[in-house]
Amino acid sequence: MKQILQKIKQYGFVVLLVLIGNYGWGQTWSYDFGASTGTFTNSTASTTFLPTPTTGGGTSRVRVGTNPGSFVLANPGLSNLGSNSELQITSNTGSSSTTKFSIHDFTASKVGYIKFNIVINGGTNGVYLFSIGDGANYSDNNAIATNQIFAGIRWTLGASNTVTCNVLNNTTYGTTGISNSTTLFSQSNTNIYSIEVYYNNENSSKNYSKSGTSYSISNSKWDLWINGTLIGDDLAKGGQAINTNIDSFAFNHQSSSSSPGTIYLDDIEYSNALPSNLAPTASAVSFSGTTNVGQTLTGNYTYSDADTDDQGTSTFKWVS
């Protein structure tokens, strides 16, 4: 960056340089379902049953598929799951009609993260999914199409409290990039899982900071953390196009099952920026020109950022 400054009024000065990275000003939203209680069982979607996200955080939406199913705001809920109310999702039975909770159309970006706590319990053939991406299915009554999913997780409930975990690779759910898919989760009201997804749908790699350590995500890849452990590193994206925006996420149940079980959610945090503890730096700061009143000085520097963020609108300030 180069900025020309004219009419310097004193001979003595220092240069104060303010650097801004493009992702330093992302928004982060905390969503813990408030403190109220209630039950929703309608197949006509509602955008008012759940609390409204804060500014820029999108629209919350719930819809129960045909046949019995429910969303319950419980307070108190399960011990240690999270603060205030929690959302309990029990899918409809005997039908593949969609039961879905989503937050759609938050301020979009191509990088970001989401964190949430989840408990899974009480089913023998339920199939629940988490998706984050962009598209009309996040705000309608249909399943989330794979071409609208950047990162996807699927939990399949089985007998004896088992859970099989799969991740979406292009258009197919499988185990590519993760291990121990049948032992990562199990069904119990006391088994609380903290999930973190960090995603990068840009054309170049990006870094993020977690617990003081920097991690890299390749372009069009995502990282999956479970209870503080990196389970999936540089996982393949779903079917969403490369270098497109992400602005919605959803939890839904899609399969016809006789015993779907329940998932419990709380303490959701999501952002349209990757977390960073490292400020950008300027090196080789210099100026040229004549330091006389009325003359022109030209400032120069080299920008760098350990988190690989592009430069935003940086400025010079000349202090006498």
> Could you read off the pLDDT of 51-68 as tens digits, one per residue?
999 999 999 999 999 878
Mean pLDDT score, 264-285? 83
Taken as a whole, the chain contains a residue count of 320
* Coil/strand/helix, residue 188: coil
In DSSP terms, which residues pair with 6 in a beta bridge? 296
Mean pLDDT score, 66-78? 93
Asked whether the beta carbons of 195 and 222 are under 8 A apart, the reply is no
What is the pLDDT of the chain when averaged over all its residues? 88
The CATH number of the structural domain formed by 28-271 is 2.60.120.200
Q: 17-31, 167-181, 195-209, 306-320 — which is least confidently predicted? A: 306-320
209 backbone dihedrals φ, ψ, rounded to 5°: -110, 135
Mean pLDDT score, 13-36? 71
- Which residue from 95, 96, 79, 78 is spatially nearest to 87, judged by alpha carbons? 78
Asked whether the beta carbons of 86 and 266 are under 8 A apart, the reply is yes
pLDDT at position 303 over 90: no
Question: What residue segments make up the domains of the chain, in order of their start?
Answer: 2-22+278-319, 28-271
- Tokens 């799969």: give the residue: 166
Q: Which pTM does this prediction carry?
A: 0.81
* pLDDT tens sequence across 132-153: 999 999 999 999 999 999 999 9
Highest-scoring range by mean pLDDT, 25-34, 142-151, 293-302 = 142-151
- Which has more pLDDT, 20 or 248? 248
Mean pLDDT score, 3-29? 52
Asked whether the beta carbons of 72 and 107 are under 8 A apart, the reply is no
- Which has more pLDDT, 213 or 294? 213
Residues 6+ apart with CB under 8 A from 208: 113, 198, 214, 215, 217, 274, 275, 276, 307
Measured CA to CA, the distance from residue 298 to residue 287 in angstroms comes to 5
Measured CA to CA, the distance from residue 132 to residue 87 in angstroms comes to 18
pLDDT at position 203 over 80: yes
